[in-house]
Structure 1
């Protein structure tokens, strides 16, 4: 229902704050980013697959730059994978939370969808010391990791909240990609493809001393002081 846009869970407001909050208390990764909110989850924090698919289709129609999804399904869905491919083929970056079913064992794999699809950027969580969160899924599809433990961000009713999860890690990467997109357009005098932007993201990672199954290419670490924020996680 396009007339019901109130966040009754808090999850979405927290994620958006991490991407683009711009205030005296909280500053997001990309505070000048423009957000297009597509509500596909109800007040219980759950939703139908068709709602998510329709939201992705609508985002593609609106020609967004990045789709960020901090949600997941335990089973693969060919319909979901198809619409994800359509988004990527439309030159849209798709960032997904890796999932919170981890058991702390890097050799024990847990998969969540759409994060497990090869076309998306799957984001795991680390704490403020760069240690992988025990709850963060480990598998062969993890692309990068970002802060996802005890993250302070915006919350409904003019509040702030501290939450943990790969849901909190994914928006760090979404904001980073927004910065990279702006930076690369100035640097290369053209819009890079989603494949090229992914390559730039991987260039801005720092490998941690943990198995690749929990960190992928490493911790996202933007360090261009002139055109991008300087993060030290």
Structure 2
């Protein structure tokens, strides 16, 4: 917290807000796709998407891969449709695309709640239970979901890129950011990759150290 409200991990970062859903929280894949394209055209280098749906759509898939080709790092919520069964796959789209980093949720004990969507596309996990979040009406509320975990991962990605630029280094590509975040994540499940937490809990300090050493 700061003297005004909640503070992020990357001071003075420029935010570009693109509304793609109705006030109810529902919407269309075509609107999300258009939002992705407009954000990248406006100069967004990292896309944080606390949203998703259960089915694939060519318009969304094409927009995500286009953004990837432009060098934009994409992080999306894995979804809240988990059932605790490692044999099922309930990761939503766009998180399910290979060009998007899929974020699962963990609680204060580092455990993945059963409602956090699981599957081989999950890449990493971040705090997503009882997270202080912005809320309509200029308020704050404690909320849970992979939508709360996603901004944590986005913040680490932004920190990586910002500190590289401050050090006179080039921006990392989306694949390099993915590699840094997943290789430095703290393993919290079975040894190695697992379908619930991916490569583990995102580690901002370790990620920055690794990114600056490249």
Q: Structures share a fold, TM > 0.5?
A: yes
Decide whether the 8 Å contact of 1:22 with 1:28 is kept in 2. no
* Aligned partner of 1:221 among 199, 203, 206: 203
Deviations 1:188-209 (A, max 9, x none): 6222222222222223311112
Which has the larger displacement, 84-93 or 184-193?
184-193
Deviations 1:72-115 (A, max 9, x none): 11111122111100000000001000000001223322131111
Give the 5 Å matches for 1:93-132: 93-132=73-112
CA distance in 2, matches of 1:77, 1:121: 18
RMSD: 2.2
Decide whether the 8 Å contact of 1:107 with 1:138 is kept in 2. no
CA distance in 2, matches of 1:137, 1:61: 31
Number of aligned residues: 208
SS of the equivalent of 1:94 reads: strand
SS of the equivalent of 2:97 reads: coil
Aligned to 1:201: 181
Could you say if the C-alpha distance between residues 154 and 145 of structure 1 is closer, same or farther in structure 2, counting changes exceeding 3 Å? same
Which has the larger displacement, 21-30 or 211-220?
21-30
Aligned to 1:172: 152
CA distance in 1, matches of 2:165, 2:84: 39
Which has the larger displacement, 201-210 or 62-71?
201-210
Gaps of 5+ in 2: 210-214
CA distance in 2, matches of 1:199, 1:22: 32
Which has the larger displacement, 160-169 or 148-157?
148-157
Aligned to 1:4: none
Gaps of 5+ in 1: 1-20, 228-233
Aligned to 2:135: 155
CA distance in 1, matches of 2:113, 2:66: 32
The answer to whether structure 1 residue 189 and structure 2 residue 192 are counterparts is no
SS of the equivalent of 1:220 reads: coil
